[in-house]
Amino acid sequence: MTPACPLQLNDHGRLRHFLSLDGLPRELLTEILDTADSFLEVGARAVKKVPLMRGMTVCNVFFENSTRTRTTFELAAKRLSADVITLNVSTSSTSKGETLTDTLRTLEAMAADMFVMRHADSGAAHFVAEHVSPNVAIINGGDGRHAHPTQGMLDMLTIRRHKGDFSQLKVAIVGDILHSRVARSNMIALKTLGCPDIRVIAPKTLLPVGLEQYGVNVYHNIEQGLKDVDVVIMLRLQRERMRSGLLPSESEFYRLFGLSEQRVALAHPEAIVMHPGPINRGVEIDSSVADSPRAMILNQVTYGIAVRMAVLSMTMSGQNEQRQLDAEKSAQQEAR
């Protein structure tokens, strides 16, 4: 893993942007999980709001469609009492030739305090964080094949709430690893949180190079890979990102790597099944498994709101802290 991007942290090591899980310390990931745990109680109240971001404006800028991610970010910001603007930029100005920088400057002119950004190009969120006004925070809602850090953290919250201590777990990630930013974020998070046995199960054509840096064990046989695991994370088969020839057919993929009841039975008797959605039933997972008591798929959506509340509030707090630190430095320089 690479060191934490210096853009992400303020001078005291607090979140300033949330771009990737790369290099973030275990203590910070644990703080996000603990903060999200506290926000789960807010969702159970009659009035589902806290005033932590009152007066702030959060702008959701989605260059890629994603109903689940967009709506949970909207709910998270509103529950923190922020004003929310959501732009589906994929059908807006960029289709008319406007560049990413042009769109950024337009949004800055709206005086937003935070941008939640989803983009098809890897590194887009980092690019914006490097060029945005110093007083604006950037949250990565998914960029290309690179990262989906809030999905990674909501998956970690799901695992912690249902399985407990990471240091005792065996976790399998199954499917289209090559095109999955979720897989990458999950591998990083699991390794950082001390999971000793991370398994990746996929055909050779759907595996990226360099997997050894994540400390995972690679399997090409799903029956062997699922043996005695505590958590099974299935991934969506991303046909829209694939070149021809990577798979013979979806039915062949299901035959070799689909999660059926017989294959789930190879895992630990109390194993849970997860999926970031949307589900391709009969392609990567059987409906009987997706709808079973083992499946945490709807729980993941609920936990996703709490995790995104945690990330939004912690990032805004870190941004405000940096603003104060910069003001103090400026005052000290002037006093000299």
Q: What is the pLDDT of residue 248?
A: 60
Q: How far apart are the first and last CA of the chain?
A: 41
To the question of whether residue 68 is assigned a binding role by annotation, the answer is yes
User: Is residue 153 located within the same domain as residue 258?
Assistant: yes
To the question of whether residue 278 is assigned a binding role by annotation, the answer is yes
User: Is residue 72 located within the same domain as residue 159?
Assistant: no
In-domain check, residue 1 = no
| Residue 317 scores a pLDDT above 80 | yes
Going from the C-alpha of 274 to that of each of 19, 232, 251, the distances in angstroms are: 23, 6, 21
Q: What is the pLDDT of residue 298?
A: 95
Q: Which domain holds residue 134?
A: 6-147+301-335
Residue pair 185/21 in contact (Cβ under 8 Å)? The answer is yes
Q: What is the pLDDT of residue 98?
A: 67
User: Is residue 281 located within the same domain as residue 187?
Assistant: yes
* Mean pLDDT score, 67-83: 95
User: Is residue 155 located within the same domain as residue 180?
Assistant: yes
Q: What is the pLDDT of residue 63?
A: 87
To the question of whether residue 96 is assigned a binding role by annotation, the answer is yes
d(CA 71, CA 73): 5
The one-letter code for the residue type at 139 is I
Residue linked to tokens 């360099």: 210
In-domain check, residue 51 = yes
User: Is residue 181 located within the same domain as residue 254?
Assistant: yes
Higher pLDDT, 93 or 42: 42
* Mean pLDDT score, 167-186: 96
pLDDT band at 45 (very low <50, low <70, confident <90, very high): confident
| Residue 184 scores a pLDDT above 80 | yes
Higher pLDDT, 167 or 67: 167
Give the pair of three-digit tokens for residue 260. Answer: 């059926």
Comparing CA positions, the residue from 227, 228, 225, 206 lying closest to residue 216 is 225
User: Is residue 134 located within the same domain as residue 164?
Assistant: no
* pLDDT per residue as tens digits for the range 226-246: 999 999 999 988 755 445 445
* pLDDT per residue as tens digits for the range 156-171: 999 999 999 999 999 9
User: Is residue 235 located within the same domain as residue 123?
Assistant: no
pLDDT band at 12 (very low <50, low <70, confident <90, very high): very high
To the question of whether residue 151 is assigned a binding role by annotation, the answer is yes
d(CA 57, CA 312): 11
The chain-wide mean pLDDT, for the chain, equals: 90
| Residue 4 scores a pLDDT above 90 | no
* pLDDT per residue as tens digits for the range 243-297: 544 566 788 888 999 999 999 999 999 999 999 988 989 989 999 999 999 999 9
| Residue 199 scores a pLDDT above 50 | yes
The one-letter code for the residue type at 293 is P
To the question of whether residue 148 is assigned a binding role by annotation, the answer is yes
* pLDDT per residue as tens digits for the range 83-126: 999 887 765 555 555 677 787 788 788 889 999 999 988 999 99
User: Is residue 286 located within the same domain as residue 202?
Assistant: yes
User: Is residue 243 located within the same domain as residue 268?
Assistant: yes
User: Is residue 284 located within the same domain as residue 158?
Assistant: yes
Q: Percent of the chain scored above 90 by pLDDT?
A: 69
- The CATH number assigned to the domain holding 77 equals 3.40.50.1370
User: Is residue 330 located within the same domain as residue 257?
Assistant: no
Helix (H) / strand (E) containing 85: strand 83-88
Number of domains in the chain: 2
In-domain check, residue 65 = yes
Instruction: Indicate if the alpha-carbon torsion angle 47, 54, 316, 150 is positive or negative.
Output: positive
In-domain check, residue 119 = yes
Q: What is the pLDDT of residue 1?
A: 46
To the question of whether residue 175 is assigned a binding role by annotation, the answer is no
User: Is residue 30 located within the same domain as residue 120?
Assistant: yes
